[in-house]
Structure 1
Amino acid sequence: MESQTGLKLEVAALTDVGCKRTNNEDNLGYDLTAQLFVVCDGMGGMAAGEVASSTAVGTLLRAFSESTASSATIEERLYSAITQANHEVCALSQANEEMRGMGTTLVAAGLDGRKIVIGNVGDSRAYFLRDGGCVQITLDHSYLAEQVRNGVMTADDAGASPLQSLITRAIGTAETVEPDLFSAALEPGDMVLLTTDGLTRYADAELIGQLVLTHTDLQEACQALINTAKEQGAVDNVTCLLLRFSEEDSAA
């Protein structure tokens, strides 16, 4: 509930193994002091996906927190922390035969005053909710999303394709990675959702907005999102992290 934004901050997060998987390769984390929030969706054989996502979350939070006293901008700090997470996962992958080829998506939100900066690699997404509307902030680094953006395929065709999990950029699969960064000025009432494709293959921005905005309790909103995916079969793990910003209590 702490905030350095001049706004009251509420946070809720839930992760679920889904209906088909036996293990959860998603990971999430946040540091209220450093004002950083992250969701990752790991991939790789055996337990490698879990290792990749947990390593990325831990490295990102540590690197970002360690840069708090630096003179770098929040964009530079987040970019650097993401590249450090990539280096750590890549090094683990190369050093362990059973983890070779593992990787993870990453979507993170960092706060600097009333400014929020979103960074992403892969197809885990950030959504921004304001005035009853919900829009996707991030661009998926996936084969299908790129086909749609290039006009090669329609969104409906992409939704029916068996290539849902084919991503074109990930943490840990190459020695370098290029995250996308997005920023926005926060206002009271704004909400941000960080989530994995375990949800977004079943819910578009409009449905996400409806589900979140009909629950005043953030934890219940996260559960409602997960339930929606599970009601439709949830073939993947499902993770949701919600942030809500409101005016600080004047008596505080």
Structure 2
Amino acid sequence: MKIGYVYDAGGRSLNEDALLYRESLFKAGTLALAAVCDGMGGMDEGEAASSLCISELEDFYDHVLIPFITDCGQKGRHFRRALDIKMIAVFKKINDLLFERMRREKVFSGSTMTVCLMFNDRYRIYHIGDSRAYRLMDIPGLKTVFFLRTKDDIRDKKLSRCVGLNRDHKPQIRGGYFKKGGMLICSDGFYKRCDERNLKSALYLTSLTDNTAINKRLSALCEDVKKRGEKDNITAIMIVK
């Protein structure tokens, strides 16, 4: 798989977002995990929240997910159900850690979490907050087509759900096939001032031949949204098969 990312503070002095990419090869195929977390609660608290999310996801990947893939002989619906249970559990663990920290230290701290797991030709997305995951496909005659795979948790222009601020931790779950194409996961600072027409023209899949090409395109999109006045942190990761 080819990957690229952009991680920019935007108009702020510190990037409160965090991202993660892990990939492992098994006899049964290739496993990959990509995640973007957008922390909130002020600069220090937002960074601490998103960093905790990523740290726990890394621990989950190493000590839960890899053994599960190594040992599990399940396929199809039973495999997906077992995977969903494990992912919901790690969302709950992270939510509880942040919630208890908020109560103990009297701080306002939370984070969005958008996690994409890819195993061979399938993917599962686990999502809470207003970050986004897009599925990219090349369709003859239409070039690159974007499918938004997550639902924004926004009410009255305010984030309504995230990990850490309340007991509502269960993620939205989406899944599908991933034989060819790409997956773009990004914080709201990346997409708010970048419409899908710009994304489609900049992220034409057949032109993204290697990691360097993906990084250059994402960096160019980042500079474009900053020119359009974006002051928020700008973070995105893209995976292409």
Amino acid at match of 2:153: H
Provide the C-alpha distance between the structure 1 equivalents of 2:183 and 2:191, rounded to a whole number of angstroms.
Answer: 15
Distance 1:50 1:187, change over 3 A: same
1:16 aligns with 2:8: yes
What is the number of equivalent residue pairs in this alignment? 213
Q: Secondary structure at the match of 2:176?
A: strand
What does residue 154 of structure 1 align with? none
Task: Answer yes or no: is the 8 Å Cα contact 1:125–1:196 preserved in 2.
Answer: yes
- Distance in 2, Cα, partners of 1:235 & 1:187: 36
| 1:227 lines up with 2:219 in the alignment | no
Q: Is the 8 A contact 1:127 1:205 kept in 2?
A: no
TM-score normalised over the length of structure 2: 0.82
Letter aligned with residue 204 of structure 1: D
Q: Secondary structure at the match of 1:139?
A: coil
Gaps of 5+ in 1: 1-8, 145-162, 246-252
User: Going by fraction, where is helix more abundant, 1 or 2?
Assistant: 2
Q: Percent identity?
A: 24
Preserved contact between residue 183 and residue 238 of structure 2 (Cα < 8 Å): yes
Correspondence for 2:201 = 210
1:171-250 matches, within 5 Å, as: 171-188=163-180, 190-213=181-204, 216=208, 217-245=213-241
Counterpart among 60, 64, 71 of residue 61 in structure 2: 64
Q: Distance in 2 between matches of 1:10 and 1:178?
A: 30
For 2:56 and 2:221, the matched residues in 1 are separated by 27
Determine the C-alpha separation between the residues in 2 that align with 1:169 and 1:47.
20
**Deviation at residue 175 of structure 1 after TM alignment:** 3.1
State the SS of the aligned residue for 1:87.
Answer: helix
Runs (4 or more) in structure 1 with deviation over 4 Å come to none
**CA 1:223–1:126: 2 relative to 1, 3 Å:** same
Q: Is 2:121 the partner of 1:125? A: no
- Is the partner of 1:110 in helix, strand or coil? strand
Which has a greater percent of strand? 2
Return the match for 1:54 from 28, 41, 51: 51
Any conservation in 1 of the 2:161–2:168 contact (CA below 8 Å)?
no
Structure 2: give runs of 5+ residues left out of the alignment. Answer: 25-30, 73-78, 139-143
Query: For residue 92 of structure 1, what is the aligned residue in structure 2?
Result: 101
**TM-aligned CA deviation for residue 26 of structure 1:** 0.7
Q: Distance in 2 between matches of 1:48 and 1:222?
A: 27
